[in-house]
Each structure stands twice: as structure tokens, then as C-alpha cells.
Amino acid sequence: MEKKKVLIVDDSLTTRKILRETLEKDPQIEVIGEARNGKEAVEKAFNLKPDVILMDIQMPVMNGLEATEKIISSYSIPIIIISSVLNKNQMYSSFNALAAGALDIMLKPNSKTEWQRFSKILVGKIKLFSEIKRTTLRKPFSYQDLYHAPYKDIVKFGNHFEVVAMGASTGGPGVIKEILALLPSTFSLPILIVQHMTAGFIESMVEWLRTEVKLPVKLAEDGEPVTPSVVYIAPSGKHLKVNRRKRMVLDSSSKPVNGHRPAVDVLFKSVAEVYANHSIGILLTGMGEDGALGLKQIKQKGGYTIVQDEKSCAVFGMPKAAIEINAHIKMLSPREIGEELINLTGVKNEAQKNIISR
């Protein structure tokens, strides 16, 4: 079996050494190079052609965000952000790197025990991400793309919608940002989101989204009513559900579903039961099958279901699983998903002004 070739990018010699020793314990992985800054990373990405790049954010000469943007746009190599404890600027840069096409973000360990657990997860991600077709890696999104893009007329679905439920995994943060950034502050529906993410980063994602979109964004809280015009993100380690009183329920005692807690299927199935044909379900990029059955249930209850198209997905696994069981009504790009939500809820003109003002 051919080894997975990895390029390590970090300005810390110690970190590079630990990462190299950690990875080379696995016989299927080969560290083919190291870079001390983003400029070296871009050059070595071209010369060495690694299967996966591990990218630090704070570095001299060229930071990890700039390097990620250049590498994704030029070479489409899968990138995992390996970040130290986040201050606000580093947090924003890390999530902007995800929006630019990096596939995942992981926190550098602080102890030997943490390194052991970290290494197992990292090795697994390297093996998975090395198999991704490079043509599917997403390029940075620009609002310039929308200035002359007309909103498509759609046939009204006939429902009075009350909620949007959205699920994503690998490649999701940038897509979620892209969709939410299209929506004006007058968007009337609550949006409930499950994003699979390494523990410790979901709070940072909420903070980042607050700076990028006009709707209020917050972590979901147990017992909180589902309120119009608010974006709720499921916290780490807790399934997010909606009960009959249309309040959110956070469940940390139930087992993971499809290997995840929170799981998209859990959210979608509860939304289907409570909101039925007044619900919109959206399944975005990600590995595995989480969300497919729940999306099918929303459709069976008369709700409106959308999957992200293959071309714009970093990983087409979750949308593909939904398509295979005919759980979707439409397959759209992130921009088209935003447009569809705008058209379905009648805020087209406001949204156009929102886009042009950016």
C-alpha cells in the first residue's frame, strides 16, 4: 500500500519534531517535508506534492491563513489546521482558513496523554482526507460572485415554513458561513445547526460566525424556546432536539448516533416530528451518512429538503447518502441554498440589498 505523504508546517521546531515522530509510528504515513512558515509551505506544496498538509496559523513571513488560501486555490491539497490555544485573532484566522478550503481544525495537545489521543485521531483524518478528490476542494467564496447573479424564480412550495434545520461535517464551517452570510437580518425563521467538529472549537465557531453574518448566532441552550431570526448551533457532546413545546432539548446521556454526538439525524428527526411540513431540512458536505435518514423523515412529513451539490462539497458522503434514499427535493450549491431560503421566505429585496452592501 502506498504511504500517505504529509507536509508539516509550523514555526516551532519542537512541534514539527513531535508531529513527525508521532506520524511516522504509523507505517502507512510518510512525512515528506517540513516548513517553518507559509511561504515555505506554498513552495513545498508545489515541489513535494503531499497528500495532506498540517498547517499552523501563527507564523512569520506568511501566516497559515494566507498559505491555505494560496495552496487551495493553486494546488487543492487537503489541509488540516493544527492550532495552539486560540486567542480571538487566531480563532478568526483559523475559521477563515476553513472558509478558504481547509478541511478541519485540531487543537495542539498540552500533555503526553493528550498527544496519544490526538495522534490516533490525526492519523485517521490524514488517511481519510488523503483519499479526497482534489477537484472537490472548495475555493474561497467571494461576494463579487453575487453582484450580477440574478435570483432564480422558483415555484412556491405552498408551505408556511417555521424552521430551518441544517447539518454538516467535513468542510461545513465555510459552507455554513456562505449560506448564512446571504441571509438578511429580516430573515424570519429560526435556524438549528449541527456541525461535526473537534471538541473545544464549536464555541469559537459561534464567535466567528457572529462577525460574519447579520443574524444573531448562539449556542443552543437546554429548554430555550426556538425563536425566529436566530441561528442556534448545537454544543459539543450533546444531541440537539426540539420538543413538542418547540423548545430545544440538549441530550448528553444518549449514545452517539452514526458515531456523532451531536448527530444530524437526531436533530432532523425531531424537527420532522414537531414541525412536519412546516420544516426545511438542509444536508451539507461531510463524510459518512449522518443526516440522510433524518432528511428523509422531513421529506416524508411534507417538509422541504435540500442537499448540497457534489461540485461544491469538500466531501460528498452525507449528501450522497441522502440522494441514494431519495431524501432530497433539490440539490443546490451553497449560494443557491441561500437564494432558495430567501425566495421561500419572501425576503428577496432585502437580501439583495444585504449582498450589495457587503
Averaged over successive runs of 10 residues, the pLDDT of the chain (358 residues) comes to 93 94 94 97 96 95 95 92 76 90 88 83 92 58 40 50 96 95 94 92 92 96 97 97 98 96 98 97 96 98 96 92 96 95 74 44
Rounded to whole angstroms, how far apart are CA atoms 139 and 84? 25
**Which triple of cell numbers denotes residue 304?**
422541504
| Res 200: pLDDT | 78
| pTM of the full structure | 0.87
Phi, psi at 141, each rounded to 5°:
-85, 140
Q: Angle 315-320-326 (CA atoms, 0-180°, nearest 5)?
A: 160
pLDDT tens column, 12-47: 999 999 999 999 999 999 999 999 999 999 999 999
Based on the residue annotation, tell me whether 196 is a catalytic residue of this protein: yes
Same topology between domain 4-136 and domain 143-356: yes
Based on the residue annotation, tell me whether 188 is a catalytic residue of this protein: no
Inter-helix orientation angle 13-23/112-129, to 10° = 70
CATH number of 4-136: 3.40.50.2300
Based on the residue annotation, tell me whether 11 is a catalytic residue of this protein: no
| Amino acid sitting at position 133 | K
| Res 223: pLDDT | 97
CATH number of 143-356: 3.40.50.180
Active-site annotation holder among 10, 51, 196, 328: 196
Residue identified by cell 478558504 is 100
Phi, psi at 70, each rounded to 5°:
-70, -45
Rounded to whole angstroms, how far apart are CA atoms 238 and 251? 5
| Res 142: pLDDT | 44
CA–CA distances in Å: residue 237 to residues 120, 225, 321: 19, 20, 24
| Res 146: pLDDT | 40
CA–CA distances in Å: residue 6 to residues 56, 73, 338: 14, 19, 36
pLDDT tens column, 157-173: 556 899 999 999 999 99
Active-site annotation holder among 10, 51, 104, 290: 290
DSSP state of 233: E
- Domain boundaries, given as residue ranges, for the chain: 4-136, 143-356
| Res 86: pLDDT | 61
Rounded to whole angstroms, how far apart are CA atoms 115 and 119? 6
Active-site annotation holder among 83, 94, 119, 169: 169
By DSSP bridging, strand 79-83 and strand 52-55 are parallel
Q: Are 102 and 81 in contact (CB under 8 A)?
A: yes
| Res 137: pLDDT | 55
End-to-end C-alpha distance for the chain, whole angstroms: 49
